[in-house]
Structures are given as structure tokens and as C-alpha cells.
Amino acid sequence: MKKLGLNSRNKRRFRVLTTNSNHNYAISPNRLQQDFYETTTNQVYVGDITYIPTNEGWLYLATVIDLYSRRVVGWSMDEHMTTTLVNDALFMAIKTRNPNRGLIWHT
């Protein structure tokens, strides 16, 4: 490569973003205690965010799943990982399923 005058182009290393636990915000109690089984629909929703590489950059996908039916009941996509991304997914689930008061939202 040196003789031909070629140089390699290194990809930027992927940096993992993790949750910052060093804050003064209130911490909600863990009401599920790792019990991810439910006997009635629309009682407990769980959510998560994943990222999808595209030719235009990262696409973030937030999902809301009903623990009883194990179905995605709300979702949202955006090119930025913000609270709006998660809130839009939850609002979709609530608007679509209309759960009763007392819904547990575990993320």
C-alpha cells in the first residue's frame, strides 16, 4: 500500500451511550420486580428503544408492548433519541387501547 501511495480510511468507532444514573431526579419504584407475566390486558405496558442503522444515519424506534398479549400497542420512530420519541409511542398505545386508570408503564 505504501509503494502505491494508498492509505486506509478508518471508520469512526461506535460509542455506546448508556443511562446516566448520576442525577438528582426521583427514582420510581420497581413495581414489577422482574415478574413479566400479566393475567389481564391493558394492565402493564413495557417499553424499550432500539436503533436501526440506515444509509442516512441512525433511526430510533421506541415500542410499547402490552405484557398480557405480548403485542406492540404503540410505537414511534425518529432520527433523534428524545423524550418525545418515547412519549409519542406511549400516547399511541393509550389512544389505541384506552386502558383503565392504574396502568403500569415499565421501561
pLDDT in tens, 47-95: 999 999 999 999 999 999 999 999 999 999 999 999 999 999 999 999 9
- Which residue type is seen at 69? S
Mean pLDDT score, 85-107: 94
> Domain range spanning residue 89?
44-106
**Residue 61: closest CA among 77, 83, 85, 73:** 77
Q: Please state whether 9 falls in left (phi above 0), alpha (psi between -120 and 50) or beta.
A: beta
Given a cut of 80, is residue 45 above it in pLDDT? yes
Is 37 a domain residue? no
pTM: 0.73
Please count the structural domains in the chain: 1
- Which residue type is seen at 50? T
Is 6 a domain residue? no
User: Which residues have a Cβ under 8 Å from the Cβ of 32 and sit 6 or more positions away?
Assistant: 44, 104, 106
Mean pLDDT rounded to a whole number for the chain: 89
CA distance 33 to 64: 19
Is 80 a domain residue? yes
